[in-house]
Amino acid sequence: MKTIYAPRALRDIDEILAYIRKRSPRGARSVSLAIEYTIHTCTLNPFAAAKTDEPNLYRRPLGKYRYTIFYRTLPDAEGIEVARVIHGARVKNLRKLPDDD
């Protein structure tokens, strides 16, 4: 199973961690680990997350942190492509992929 990241997802993660790191380096590390763990879980079980209204697009909340990971399954279910990682307060509709800001 493999995981690939859309350029926007990488920017999302960088922005999230930079924002948190300014206030709490330890907090940024905790959120980083939670993102990594959740993405790894999605890679291993790509169909276990909630479906969205968009074909082949799934979403999974981060757990105790208010972030949501949006991803697509790769052909032949060989892994996932992480499309976005975004704070729940910035998502108006969890049934579709948020637009770029």
Report pLDDT digits (tens) over 59-80: 999 988 999 999 999 888 789 9
Q: Could you tell me the domains of the chain?
A: 2-90 (3.30.2310.20)
Amino acid at 12: D
CA-based nearest residue to 100, from 12, 20, 5: 12
Mean pLDDT, rounded, for 9-15: 96
Locus of tokens 């330890």: 26
Which candidate, 98, 95, 17, places its Cα nearest to that of 52?
A: 95
Q: Give the predicted TM-score (pTM) of the model.
A: 0.89
Separation CA 13–CA 16 (nearest Å): 5
CB 9 within 8 A of CB 80: no
| HSE of 11, CA atoms in CB hemisphere, 13 A | 6
